[in-house]
Amino acid sequence: MGNSLNREKIIVRTSIIGILSNLFLSFFKAIVGLSVKSIAILMDALNNLTDAMSSIVTIIGIKLANKEANREHPFGHGRIEYLTAMFISLFILYAGITSLIESIKKILEPEIPSYTNISFLIISVAVIVKIVLGLYVKKVGEKVNSDSLIASGNDAKFDAIISLSILFAGIIYIFFKIKIEAYLGIAISIVIIKAGYGILKETVADLIGERIDSEIAKDIKDCINSFDEVLGTYDLIIHNYGPNVLVGSAHIEVSDKMTAYEIDTLEREITKKVYNEFKVYITGLSIYSSNNNDKKISEMKDRIDKILDNFPHVMQMHGFYLDEIKRIVKFDVVISFDDKEKYTTVKNIINEISKFYPDYEFQITLDNDISD
Ligand SMILES: [Zn+2]
């Protein structure tokens, strides 16, 4: 815990250094841009300002999101980070679109920039500051393993290239009298819009709910399968309440000889192990009972498995149970999202299997392909 607090402190401190540098650069560039009438320098100032704003909102987001869970919000406040990120993205998009419009106006009604030596000097200093800042922020980000710091470090290097290109545009104008300023303004606007769109897309995806990472899903299943009593783990579902609060459920297959007490003990141990290893709260483990070690039953299961091979959208069959007394066979099939007529597929499966086993009733549960 002490370590993660320390980590948060380092991230916040580094972000504040970035914010102050960006505000400083933005301020001087804005003055230079206005005094020499350069739209590109003004847009560059705006670009630095949006960087500073987004870092500020990120810090506020982290602080709000870390608020303890309470009665009204029992899963904590982690999703606030998505809202702040969405706010940032809309702000950046607005800045980008506005600057795009301004740049286009400048192409239609060009203004002649009057570069001065001082303006070149300030842009040059800005380039150096951005490169040093970018390297520093990225190094700290790698040290404390923070994606957002690494991203903003890379972003700073990119900003240095933008400022550098403005410098070249000025030199080209002085020597050749060719004005590429406003076009550069358009290019910078597109960079800003692209950044805003990228954040918006990612945040919306987080809010809608994304498929969990294939590696993590497999690791969690492996962890549950590592218990000797567990014959298989299926239907893993994980929800997130912000980047740090993960809640989930799964289905496990166990022998039908286990007692309720034995299953209870097993479930508690699984829940504890999954939390310790992945920080995922397993809130429910549903049970499939299995009697597959019987030769006749396992033969029937293999046969049905073969029949299912003829259904290309069926990805998996699990939870197979044969009740010989009631003559009922139960199992689940995982059907791909590509299948637009899942219920018809299930009916067809039952028809097909019933040809081979006319004396049995088949109860098939349709599962969605939720995780790998
Ligand atoms: Zn299932």
Q: How far is the CA of 258 from the centre of ligand 1 (A)?
A: 20
Given 167, 191, 208, the domain boundary residue is 208
Q: How far is the CA of 253 from the centre of ligand 1 (A)?
A: 10
317-328 confidence digits (pLDDT tens): 999 999 989 999
Q: How far is the CA of 283 from the centre of ligand 1 (A)?
A: 16
Q: How far is the CA of 285 from the centre of ligand 1 (A)?
A: 11
Helices 39-65, 117-144: axis angle to 10 degrees equals 30
Q: How far is the CA of 342 from the centre of ligand 1 (A)?
A: 15
220-250 confidence digits (pLDDT tens): 999 999 999 999 999 999 988 877 788 999 9
Based on the domain organization, do 56 and 178 belong to the same domain? yes
Based on the domain organization, do 226 and 294 belong to the same domain? yes
What is the CATH classification number for the domain harbouring 275? 3.30.70.1350
Based on the domain organization, do 198 and 219 belong to the same domain? no
Q: How far is the CA of 359 from the centre of ligand 1 (A)?
A: 24
Based on the domain organization, do 165 and 228 belong to the same domain? no
User: Would you state the pLDDT for residue 182?
Assistant: 83
Residue 280 CB neighbour total at 10 angstroms:
23
Question: Which of these, 6, 65, 51, lies nearest to 151 by C-alpha position?
Answer: 51
Given 172, 188, 208, the domain boundary residue is 208
215-226 confidence digits (pLDDT tens): 999 999 999 999
What is the CATH classification number for the domain harbouring 197? 1.20.1510.10
Q: How far is the CA of 256 from the centre of ligand 1 (A)?
A: 17
Based on the domain organization, do 323 and 247 belong to the same domain? yes
Based on the domain organization, do 179 and 219 belong to the same domain? no
Q: How far is the CA of 251 from the centre of ligand 1 (A)?
A: 7
Residue 183 in tokens: 């076009």
Query: Tokens 């910078």 sit at which residue?
Result: 188
Q: How far is the CA of 321 from the centre of ligand 1 (A)?
A: 12
Based on the domain organization, do 9 and 123 belong to the same domain? yes
Whole-prediction pTM: 0.71
Containing domain of residue 53, as a range? 2-208
Based on the domain organization, do 95 and 183 belong to the same domain? yes
Q: How far is the CA of 79 from the centre of ligand 1 (A)?
A: 29
**More confident call, 279 vs 7:** 279
HEC assignment per residue over 31-81? HHHHHCCCHHHHHHHHHHHHHHHHHHHHHHHHHHHCCCCCCCCCCCCCCHH
Question: Which of these, 47, 43, 48, 41, lies nearest to 18 by C-alpha position?
Answer: 48
12-52 confidence digits (pLDDT tens): 898 899 999 999 999 999 999 888 888 888 888 988 888 88
Based on the domain organization, do 63 and 181 belong to the same domain? yes
Q: How far is the CA of 358 from the centre of ligand 1 (A)?
A: 24
Opening angle at CA 140, ends 135 and 146, nearest 5: 115
Q: How far is the CA of 85 from the centre of ligand 1 (A)?
A: 35
Given 162, 180, 208, the domain boundary residue is 208
Q: How far is the CA of 267 from the centre of ligand 1 (A)?
A: 17
Q: Is 332 helix (H, G, I), strand (E, B) or coil?
A: strand
How many domains is the chain built from? 2
CB-proximal residues (5 Å) to ion ligand 1: 234-235, 332, 367
Q: How far is the CA of 286 from the centre of ligand 1 (A)?
A: 9
What CA–CA distance (Å, rounded) separates 133 from 136? 5
* Overall residue count recorded for the chain in this entry: 372
Q: How far is the CA of 7 from the centre of ligand 1 (A)?
A: 40
Based on the domain organization, do 196 and 335 belong to the same domain? no
Based on the domain organization, do 189 and 250 belong to the same domain? no
Based on the domain organization, do 250 and 186 belong to the same domain? no
